[in-house]
Amino acid sequence: MTQRVELATVMDRLAVDEVVTEYAVAVDDGDWEAYRGLFSPEGRADYRSAGGIEGDARQVAAWLEESMRLFSMRQHLIVNRRVAFGTLDQDTGDTARVRADYVNPMRFAADGAESAAPDFVCGGRYSFGLLRTYDGWRLSEVVVQEKWRRLPEPAKAGVSD
């Protein structure tokens, strides 16, 4: 591999990593326009394993916008990113796959004082498919595989703080 090819691969890896980071930030910040902008025109997302929907980026963004109103705080931590580049039409590097684990603490929106601790935490694995477009790397597919979740413990009768 030449230095030029190695540099291009590093640049692509950084660009792909940035798309994954921007995905987490868009969801956490509730920036649904930015979320939709991360996808290719045919891009789809599948949140069914986490109790959500599967559909195109527009449909899923609308669903996320509604369902994320339940949470006043969201913080995706996407780690252990494994990136692999593929081929499309015989041109090396036109597609990428990222498998990454996530932990997602969230706090329920509530009237009055909020605790600093999250009420709801889930974790699992993302599978991102990306496509090189004229506008840069875009998501062609996002699949969430939720593996676990921890819900708030019910208040015990007769116990006060």
pLDDT 10s digits, 97-137: 999 999 999 988 875 555 666 688 999 999 999 999 999 99
pLDDT value, residue 5:
66
50-78 per-position pLDDT tens digit: 999 999 999 999 999 999 999 889 999 99
Which H or E run contains 37?
helix 32-37
pTM of the model: 0.86
The mean per-residue pLDDT over the stretch 136-152 comes to 95
The answer as to CATH 3.10.450.50 being correct for domain 3-150 is yes
Burial degree of 104 (CB within 10 A; 0-12, 13-18, 19+): buried
Asked if residues 121 and 107 have their Cβ atoms less than 8 Å apart, the reply is no
Q: Taking the domains of the chain in order of start, what are their residue ranges?
A: 3-150
Q: What is the mean pLDDT of the chain?
A: 88
